[in-house]
Amino acid sequence: MAYYPQQPQTNVIQVSGEQEVRSFQFAPNSTFAFFDRNEPVIYYVRSDASGRVTVDVLDFVIRPDPKVVQQETEMNELRQRLAAIESMLGGLVHESTVSKSAAAGAVPAAESAPAVQSVP
């Protein structure tokens, strides 16, 4: 006897708005999820034992991967720390260059040397 895998059964249906959802007839004690074709919305429909239907409209939002969010947060913190260090070093380099050149009576090196570029 050959084995044929059974196709998965789902109650997910695509619709174009809440009006279309409400046009369906539902058996008592049933639950359905309708995905809107035009908006990121899910209509969660359930009927009780007497056949009374309740429609909940849910916003469909994809959650970001927590690992990616953590990496982005860490990168932003590192960028801020690097910017602070560059700012501190830039001030030290500038002060050192001005004081040396002023003592020698020369043009400050900051005017003749290329500027230190910050990394975004």
Q: Alpha helix locations (H) across 26-114?
A: 66-104, 109-112
Tens of pLDDT, residues 9-48:
665 688 999 999 999 998 999 999 999 999 999 999 999 9
Exposed/middle/buried for residue 48 (C-beta within 10 Å: 0-12, 13-18, 19+):
exposed
* Residue 89: partners with Cβ closer than 8 Å, 6 or more residues away: 116
Q: What is the pTM of this model?
A: 0.48
Name residues whose C-beta falls within 8 Å of residue 19's C-beta, 6 or more positions apart in sequence.
none
For 53-93, the pLDDT digits (tens) are 999 999 988 888 888 889 999 999 999 999 988 888 886 66
* Cα dihedral across residues 106, 111, 116, 118: positive or negative: positive
